[in-house]
Amino acid sequence: MLKKVKHHSLKKHTDKNLMHRDISERNAPLKYLGFLVDETYFDNFELFYEFGKELGLQRKDIKLFTFIETRRRIPTLRQNQITNKEFTWRGEIHNQNAHEFLDYPFDVLIGFYNGKHEFLSAMAAQSKAKFKIGFNGADERLFDLLLTVDLQKPETFKSEVKKYLTILKKI
Protein backbone atom coordinates (compact mmCIF):
# COMPACT_ATOMS: atom_id res chain seq x y z
CA MET A 1 0.00 0.00 0.00
CA LEU A 2 2.74 2.44 0.98
CA LYS A 3 4.60 1.62 -2.25
CA LYS A 4 1.55 2.66 -4.31
CA VAL A 5 1.26 5.92 -2.39
CA LYS A 6 4.97 6.61 -2.96
CA HIS A 7 4.65 6.00 -6.72
CA HIS A 8 1.54 8.19 -6.92
CA SER A 9 3.34 10.98 -5.04
CA LEU A 10 6.36 10.69 -7.33
CA LYS A 11 4.06 11.06 -10.33
CA LYS A 12 2.47 14.17 -8.79
CA HIS A 13 5.88 15.72 -8.09
CA THR A 14 6.99 14.95 -11.64
CA ASP A 15 3.88 16.59 -13.11
CA LYS A 16 4.33 19.65 -10.89
CA ASN A 17 8.01 20.05 -11.82
CA LEU A 18 7.20 19.74 -15.53
CA MET A 19 4.75 22.63 -15.29
CA HIS A 20 7.45 24.91 -13.86
CA ARG A 21 10.30 23.96 -16.21
CA ASP A 22 12.31 26.84 -17.69
CA ILE A 23 13.17 26.13 -21.34
CA SER A 24 14.58 29.55 -22.20
CA GLU A 25 18.22 28.31 -22.15
CA ARG A 26 17.55 25.10 -24.11
CA ASN A 27 19.93 26.03 -26.96
CA ALA A 28 22.99 26.77 -24.81
CA PRO A 29 26.27 25.20 -25.99
CA LEU A 30 27.59 22.20 -24.08
CA LYS A 31 29.88 23.11 -21.16
CA TYR A 32 28.52 20.89 -18.37
CA LEU A 33 27.22 17.36 -18.84
CA GLY A 34 25.23 15.27 -16.36
CA PHE A 35 24.17 11.62 -16.35
CA LEU A 36 21.33 9.97 -14.42
CA VAL A 37 22.09 6.24 -14.53
CA ASP A 38 20.19 3.13 -13.46
CA GLU A 39 22.86 0.80 -12.06
CA THR A 40 20.87 -2.30 -12.95
CA TYR A 41 21.58 -1.60 -16.62
CA PHE A 42 25.05 -0.16 -16.49
CA ASP A 43 27.88 0.09 -13.98
CA ASN A 44 30.95 1.01 -16.08
CA PHE A 45 30.99 4.68 -15.12
CA GLU A 46 34.38 5.41 -16.64
CA LEU A 47 32.69 5.17 -20.06
CA PHE A 48 30.69 8.33 -19.28
CA TYR A 49 33.81 10.31 -18.41
CA GLU A 50 35.54 9.08 -21.59
CA PHE A 51 32.49 10.12 -23.60
CA GLY A 52 32.65 13.60 -22.05
CA LYS A 53 36.31 13.87 -23.07
CA GLU A 54 35.34 12.93 -26.63
CA LEU A 55 32.88 15.84 -26.55
CA GLY A 56 35.68 18.20 -25.50
CA LEU A 57 34.85 18.42 -21.80
CA GLN A 58 37.13 18.05 -18.81
CA ARG A 59 36.38 15.46 -16.13
CA LYS A 60 35.37 18.17 -13.64
CA ASP A 61 32.60 19.32 -16.02
CA ILE A 62 30.97 15.87 -16.08
CA LYS A 63 28.75 14.76 -13.20
CA LEU A 64 27.22 11.35 -12.66
CA PHE A 65 24.40 10.30 -10.34
CA THR A 66 23.17 6.72 -10.05
CA PHE A 67 20.10 4.92 -8.77
CA ILE A 68 20.22 1.49 -7.19
CA GLU A 69 17.13 -0.29 -5.87
CA THR A 70 18.65 -1.16 -2.50
CA ARG A 71 22.05 -0.30 -1.13
CA ARG A 72 24.51 -3.16 -0.97
CA ARG A 73 25.89 -4.25 2.37
CA ILE A 74 29.43 -3.68 1.10
CA PRO A 75 30.70 -0.28 2.27
CA THR A 76 31.25 2.18 -0.55
CA LEU A 77 32.76 5.62 -0.85
CA ARG A 78 30.40 6.62 -3.66
CA GLN A 79 28.31 9.58 -2.66
CA ASN A 80 26.44 10.25 -5.90
CA GLN A 81 24.03 7.38 -5.46
CA ILE A 82 20.41 7.20 -4.37
CA THR A 83 18.10 4.33 -3.44
CA ASN A 84 14.33 4.03 -3.38
CA LYS A 85 14.46 4.32 0.42
CA GLU A 86 15.67 7.92 0.12
CA PHE A 87 12.36 8.94 -1.45
CA THR A 88 9.66 9.62 1.13
CA TRP A 89 6.11 8.36 0.76
CA ARG A 90 5.26 11.91 -0.36
CA GLY A 91 7.78 11.67 -3.19
CA GLU A 92 10.36 13.99 -1.62
CA ILE A 93 14.07 13.26 -1.86
CA HIS A 94 16.12 12.96 1.34
CA ASN A 95 19.63 12.97 -0.07
CA GLN A 96 21.74 16.14 0.04
CA ASN A 97 24.00 14.99 -2.83
CA ALA A 98 20.94 14.41 -5.01
CA HIS A 99 19.68 17.93 -4.30
CA GLU A 100 23.07 19.40 -5.24
CA PHE A 101 23.10 17.36 -8.47
CA LEU A 102 19.55 18.39 -9.40
CA ASP A 103 20.23 22.07 -8.73
CA TYR A 104 23.34 22.10 -10.94
CA PRO A 105 22.66 23.97 -14.23
CA PHE A 106 23.77 21.30 -16.71
CA ASP A 107 23.73 22.26 -20.35
CA VAL A 108 22.84 18.64 -21.18
CA LEU A 109 21.46 15.94 -18.89
CA ILE A 110 21.30 12.37 -20.17
CA GLY A 111 18.86 9.99 -18.48
CA PHE A 112 20.64 6.68 -19.03
CA TYR A 113 17.79 4.27 -18.32
CA ASN A 114 15.19 2.36 -20.33
CA GLY A 115 11.46 2.91 -20.18
CA LYS A 116 9.54 4.63 -17.44
CA HIS A 117 11.39 4.69 -14.15
CA GLU A 118 9.46 6.53 -11.43
CA PHE A 119 12.44 7.45 -9.29
CA LEU A 120 14.82 8.58 -12.04
CA SER A 121 11.97 10.29 -13.91
CA ALA A 122 11.16 12.30 -10.79
CA MET A 123 14.81 13.32 -10.58
CA ALA A 124 14.96 14.24 -14.28
CA ALA A 125 11.83 16.38 -13.89
CA GLN A 126 13.30 18.16 -10.88
CA SER A 127 16.67 18.79 -12.56
CA LYS A 128 17.61 22.35 -13.56
CA ALA A 129 19.29 21.05 -16.74
CA LYS A 130 18.73 23.16 -19.85
CA PHE A 131 18.49 20.27 -22.35
CA LYS A 132 17.57 16.67 -21.50
CA ILE A 133 18.13 13.49 -23.50
CA GLY A 134 16.31 10.22 -22.77
CA PHE A 135 15.98 6.76 -24.28
CA ASN A 136 13.58 3.99 -25.31
CA GLY A 137 10.09 4.55 -23.99
CA ALA A 138 10.87 7.17 -21.36
CA ASP A 139 8.23 9.77 -20.55
CA GLU A 140 8.44 12.14 -23.52
CA ARG A 141 7.35 15.10 -21.38
CA LEU A 142 10.60 14.91 -19.42
CA PHE A 143 13.07 15.01 -22.28
CA ASP A 144 13.77 17.34 -25.18
CA LEU A 145 15.21 14.50 -27.26
CA LEU A 146 14.37 10.78 -27.13
CA LEU A 147 16.66 8.24 -28.81
CA THR A 148 15.92 4.63 -29.66
CA VAL A 149 19.25 3.03 -28.84
CA ASP A 150 20.26 -0.19 -27.11
CA LEU A 151 21.94 1.04 -23.92
CA GLN A 152 24.01 -2.15 -23.73
CA LYS A 153 25.89 -0.98 -26.87
CA PRO A 154 27.90 2.04 -25.71
CA GLU A 155 29.42 2.84 -29.11
CA THR A 156 25.96 3.20 -30.68
CA PHE A 157 24.83 5.37 -27.76
CA LYS A 158 27.88 7.61 -28.08
CA SER A 159 27.60 8.04 -31.84
CA GLU A 160 23.86 8.87 -31.71
CA VAL A 161 24.22 11.41 -28.91
CA LYS A 162 27.23 13.00 -30.61
CA LYS A 163 25.34 13.17 -33.92
CA TYR A 164 22.35 14.98 -32.42
CA LEU A 165 24.44 17.33 -30.30
CA THR A 166 26.29 18.32 -33.46
CA ILE A 167 23.04 18.85 -35.38
CA LEU A 168 21.71 21.00 -32.56
CA LYS A 169 25.02 22.97 -32.50
CA LYS A 170 25.73 22.16 -28.88
CA ILE A 171 29.24 20.90 -29.70
Domains along the sequence of the chain with CATH: 2-167 (3.40.50)
Could you read off the pLDDT of 140-157 as tens digits, one per residue? 999 999 999 988 888 999
Could you read off the pLDDT of 49-103 as tens digits, one per residue? 999 999 999 999 999 999 988 766 655 556 799 988 999 888 889 999 999 999 9
Helix (H) or strand (E) holding 35: strand 33-38
pLDDT of residue 23: 79
Residue type at 69? E
* Rounded to 5°, angle at Cα 92 from 89 and 96: 130
Average pLDDT over residues 159-167: 95
Distance spanning both ends of the chain, measured CA to CA: 47
3-state secondary structure of 42: coil
pLDDT of residue 106: 96
Could you read off the pLDDT of 21-38 as tens digits, one per residue? 777 788 889 999 999 999
Could you read off the pLDDT of 111-127 as tens digits, one per residue? 999 888 899 999 999 99
pLDDT of residue 168: 93
Kindly state the percentage of the chain with pLDDT values over 70. Answer: 94
Q: How far apart are CA 54 and CA 50, in angstroms?
A: 6
Residue of 30 and 10 predicted with greater confidence: 30
